[in-house]
Amino acid sequence: MSTSVTYTAVLDVKRSTAEHLARLLRDHRIAAGTRRGRRALGCFRQAVLILRWFIDGTRLSQLGCDNGLSASTAYRYLHEGLAVLAAGAPDLATALKRAEAAGLTHLNLDGTLVRTDRLAAPGPNGADLWWSGKHKHHGGNVQVISTPDGWPIWVSPVRPGREHDTTCARHHGLIDALNRMAAELDMPTLVDLGYENAGDGFRHPHKKPAGGELTEAQQTYNKVIRGIHGVCERANSLLKTTFKALRRVSLDPSRITKIAAAALVLLQLEYDRTI
């Protein structure tokens, strides 16, 4: 006698999003020369599998079981989905051009840690490469640029969790690009003190001097900056609350690059908004 139970569930995603992903998968199969009838799942069912992983964080072993797939096939189907979605994410130049065309008053930049399972990867000085001392957890650093109202418009490739936000931003070319936006378009970037000394194009709170106090004007400035910049937390929250897959990644941490980019594309599809 079977001990398993079959039930019906509803996935909290627009059908148009699933259909869009199914079309991307169909185009991928055509480009790869996949013959009809050679796949265990059709494009739409594969799209649903991928969306369940993103939105509900369903384990791949369960997804494979639900669809009659081997573990290796379930992983392959997921990675195909990550690839076709991430390919549609805007690069930095495109995101900044959209911001310019929209006439935004400023941008927000913030780093977020995408947590990973425990792993041992020693860095150049022997320290654990993916361990974030700030967050006390293993993970990857992803930089997120957002609009004044906290809508994410760009996500960076992943960097090891031990790296400082400024180091990551510099690696991705953000320091030069955002300083240039401020100089040429009068569009500064609001950040926290993690980006101190990034350049004149960045606005961040004043740091309390050692053994001293901030002036009243500096305290007022800090309140204003933190109040305006605090909205950027919505960008990271939108990504992580919408997609459970971004709360903890059990795949190779290098995969976070495509996971974050794919999540941004899905978010834009769900809200029908890019900027």
Residues 193-252 have pLDDT tens digits of 999 989 999 999 999 988 889 999 999 999 999 988 888 889 999 999 999 999 999 999
**The pLDDT of residue 175:** 98
**The pLDDT of residue 2:** 61
- Is the CA virtual torsion 119, 258, 57, 144 positive or negative? positive
**The pLDDT of residue 77:** 98
Q: pLDDT grade, residue 161 (50/70/90)? A: very high
Q: How far apart are CA 158 and CA 111, in angstroms?
A: 10
pTM here is: 0.93
CA distances from 21 to 46, 94, 227, 246 (A): 9, 22, 37, 19
Average pLDDT, stretch 70-95?
98
Instruction: Break the chain into its structural domains and give their ranges.
Output: 15-86, 92-251
Tell me the pLDDT tens digit for each residue of 97-129. Answer: 999 999 999 999 999 999 998 777 877 777 789
pLDDT exceeds 90 at position 9: no
Among 181, 175, 179, which residue's Cα sits nearest to residue 194? 175
At residue 170, φ and ψ (nearest 5 deg) are: -65, -40
Average pLDDT, stretch 159-182?
97
Tell me the pLDDT tens digit for each residue of 25-53. Answer: 999 999 999 988 889 999 999 999 999 99
Q: How far apart are CA 13 and CA 203, in angstroms?
A: 37
